[in-house]
Amino acid sequence: MSIDAVAVLRIRRLPTPTTQFGTRFLVQHRGDCSLLHTLQRFEGTPLDEHVLSVRRILGDQLDAHDDPRGLFIFPDVCEPEGRSYARILSELEGAGGFGPLVKADHVPLRITNAAPGSYDELVRQARATLGDDAELAMTMTEVSFLIAKSTPTRASEYVTAREQLRASMGEAFISALEPHLEERAQQTIASQQRFMQQVERLTQERFEAPVVGAAELDQFFSSGQANAVIDSLGPGFKKHLEGALSSLGVALDELPEDDLARRLAKAAGVEPRRTTQRRTRKKR
C-alpha cells in the first residue's frame, strides 16, 4: 500500500485517460482544474520523473496546462478541499512541489547528472548504446535478478536477461552492474519487510483496540441514546433481545452495573431475571 502521486492540472474537466490495461485513471474535476491520480509512487521519485509519467499518460493534452512554474505534484494522503486551482495550491503548500513540463523524450535528470560509478551512470551508458530499448532491458534484468533471489528455480530468467545485456554492453558493463543489482535487491527486500511489519502492527492495533471506548459506551447509555435506538427498532427487536439475554443463563440483577448485558436489559425495559432462593425443609 504505497503513497501515490497526484498532479494538479490547470485544465478544466480533463477527459479521463485509460491505463495500458484498459482501466481508467482517477480524475477529480475541481472548477478550473483537474486532479490526476498517476498510480506512480510519490516517495523516492524526482519531480521531473513524476511529470514525465503524466506526459506519458496524457500526451499532448498536457500542453493545455498553463503555469510557468510547471506541474504541481503532491502525495495522495493529502486531500485538498478547494474548488479552484489557486485554492488547492494554497492548501497544499509545503506538501509537494512543481516539476518542469518535460517532453516525452525527456531523459530523467538523475540519469543525465549521474555520479560516476553509480547505477544511474550505467543506465546512462545503456541509453547511449541501446537508445529507447535501454530502460526495458535494464528493468527486465533487475526484475529477473530480484525474482532469482526469492525463487532460485527461476534463476534461468536472470541468466537470459543478463546474457542479452552482455551481448550489447560487454563484460565490463555486467561486472559493474551486478553489485548494484545486489544492493538494490537488498533495499527492495528490506522495504518489503518494513511494509509487512507496518501492516502487521496496524492490524494488531486494529484488533486490540476496542471499537468503542468505555467513555463512549457510558455516554451512549447514560444519555438515553441506547433507549432511543432500541425503541426505533420496534417490538420485534425487543423480543429478540429479551430472548438473547435470557439465554445467557445468568441472573442479570447480579451482574455489575456496567455490564453490557445488564445495561442493554435496562435500556430495553427487560425485567431482570432474578435469582431464586432455594428452600430447604427442616427435618423433623
3-class DSSP assignment, residue 142: helix
Helices within 92-154 (DSSP H only): 109-112, 119-130, 134-150
Residue at which a domain ends, from 99, 129, 146: 99
Q: Do residues 12 and 3 lie in contact, with contact meaning Cβ atoms separated by under 8 Å?
A: no
> The cell 511494509 sits on which residue?
195
pLDDT tens digits along 126-167: 999 998 889 889 999 999 999 998 899 999 999 999 999 999
Q: Does residue 284 sit within a domain? A: no
Q: Are residues 56 and 72 in the same domain?
A: yes
Assess if residue 283 is contained within a domain. Answer: no
pLDDT at position 245 is 79
Give the count of domains, the chain.
Answer: 3
| Total-model pTM | 0.61
Backbone angles phi, psi at 50, to 5 degrees: -65, -45
8 in the same domain as 57: yes
Least confident of 32-46, 116-130, 197-211: 197-211
Grid cell for residue 156: 534461468
Three cell numbers, residue 167: 551481448
* Domain contains 279: no
Residue finishing a domain among 69, 99, 129: 99
Please tell me whether residues 20 and 64 are part of one structural domain.
yes
Q: If DSSP codes are grouped into helix, strand and coil, which group holds residue 183?
A: helix
3-state secondary structure 42-61: CCCCCHHHHHHHHHHHHHHH
User: Residue 255 sits in which domain range?
Assistant: 214-268
63 shares a domain with 24: yes
Q: Would you say residue 279 has pLDDT above 80?
A: no
Residue 273 in contact with residue 246, Cβ under 8 Å? yes
Q: Is residue 46 part of a domain?
A: yes
Residues 186 and 107: their CA atoms lie apart, in Å, by 26
- CA dist 126 and 120 (Å) reads 10
pLDDT tens digits for range 217-239: 888 888 888 888 877 777 777 77
Phi, then psi, of 18 in degrees rounded to 5: -115, 155
